[in-house]
Amino acid sequence: MLLHRALCRSWTRQIAEPLLPSYSNKLLRPHTIILRSMRSSPRHQRPPRSGSLQTSPPFENYTLGGAVPPSNVVKALVFTGAFSVGCFMSVTILEYENTRNMMIEKARQSKFPWLRRQNVNQERNVWQELKQEVKQHWDKLTPGERVFVPLCALNVIVFGLWRVPSLRNTMMTYFCSNPAGRAVCWPMFLSTFSHYSMFHLFANMYVLHSFSNAGVLSLGKEQFLGVYLSAGVIASLSSIIYKTVTSKPGLSIGASGAIMAILAYVCAKYPDTQLSILFLPMLNFSAERPLKL
C-alpha cells in the first residue's frame, strides 16, 4: 500500500506535471472549504420588497464627506435672500386679498341678504352634509390651529414618504439640506418638513402647537406663515455656513429653526408667558427669565 502511494506521487511529479501543468497544480494545490450558514448566505436571504415601508430611520447608515464648493455657499446666500423677500411679498399680497374678499362678502351680505339665503340652499343641494360638517369642525378651531393643522399635515406626509424605499434617493436629494450636494437651494426649504424619527416629529409639532395660537393672534396667519417659512430657510443657511467653516459637511433636517423663531417672537412679545419643559410640566418659568440670562 505504501509502495503504491509512492509510485502514484512519483508519477504525478514526473509525468503529469510536464504534460498537464494546469491540472497538476489543481491536484497539488491545497484547498480550503468554507462553510456558510443557510441564513447568513446572501443567496438564501429574501430580498426586501421594493414597495414595502421601512420603519427604521433612513439616515443611520448614511455618511457624507468632502469639501463644500464655494459656489454652493453663494447659491445658498442668494436663495435665502430671494426666498425671504418673495415669501413676505407673497403673504402681504395674500393678506390684502383675504381682507378685501372678507370686506366685500360682508358688504354683499348686508346689502343683499336674500343672496346669502340662496347660496345656502344651493350648498345643501350640492354638497349636502359632508361639506357642512367639515366646515363646522374647521370653524371650531382657533386661528392658530387653522395654521398649525396644514403645517402638521405636511410634516406627517413627508415623514411617511421617507419610509418608502423607492423614494429614498429623491428624498435624500431634495428633502435634506446638504452643503456639498448637487442640489442646494430648494432642499434648504424642503428639509424643514423632514424629521429623523417619530419623537423628533412629535416634539417639534408639540412646541409649534403650543405657540401657534399666540403667534397667529399677534402677527396674523399670513405674516405668521411668512416668518415660519423664511426662518426655516435662514436656519438652513446658518447650518450651511457653519459646516463650511468647520469643514464638516453633512445632512440637516427638521423644523427646529423655524419653530425657535416663532418661540423667540412669542417670548419677546409676551414676556409674562409661562413656559414648561416637555414631560416635566411641574417645572414652570416665565418667558422673560431665559431672555435675561
- Is 104's pLDDT higher than 50? yes
- pLDDT of 265 above 50: yes
Candidate from 46-50, 93-97, 147-151, 180-184 with smallest mean pLDDT: 46-50
pLDDT per position as a tens digit, 67-89: 778 889 999 999 999 999 999 99
pLDDT at 135: 81
User: Does residue 249 come out as left (phi exceeding 0), alpha (psi in the -120 to 50 range) or beta?
Assistant: beta
114 in a structural domain: yes
Residue 138: what pLDDT?
84
Q: Residue 169 is part of a domain; what is its CATH number?
A: 1.20.1540
- Per the listing, cell 430611520 goes with 57
User: What gap in Å lies between CA 103 and CA 98, rounded to an integer?
Assistant: 9
**Start-to-end Cα distance in the chain:** 96
For residue 27, is it within any domain?
no
The whole domain housing 132 covers 70-292
DSSP 8-state symbol, 166 = G
Average pLDDT of the chain to the nearest whole number: 77
Q: What is the pTM of this model?
A: 0.72
Residue 223 confidence (pLDDT) above 50: yes
As given in the structure block, the three cell numbers for residue 274 are 409661562
132-160 average pLDDT score: 90
Name residue 275's beta-bridge partners.
285
Please report whether residue 287 resides in a domain.
yes
- Calculate the CA 286 to chain-centre distance: 31
User: Is residue 43 in some structural domain?
Assistant: no
Does 77 reside within a domain? yes
> Does some domain include residue 8?
no
In a domain, 177, yes or no: yes
Domain total of the chain: 1
Residue 236 included in any domain = yes
Give yes or no for residue 93 having a pLDDT over 70.
Answer: yes
Q: Nearest-5° angle of CA 221, CA 223, CA 224?
A: 60
Lowest mean pLDDT among 82-86, 134-138, 203-207, 260-264: 134-138
32-59 confidence digits (pLDDT tens): 333 333 334 444 445 445 444 454 455 5
Residues 6+ apart with CB under 8 A from 178: 64, 184, 187, 249, 250, 251, 252
pLDDT at 12 over 50: no
Residue with cell 430657510: 233
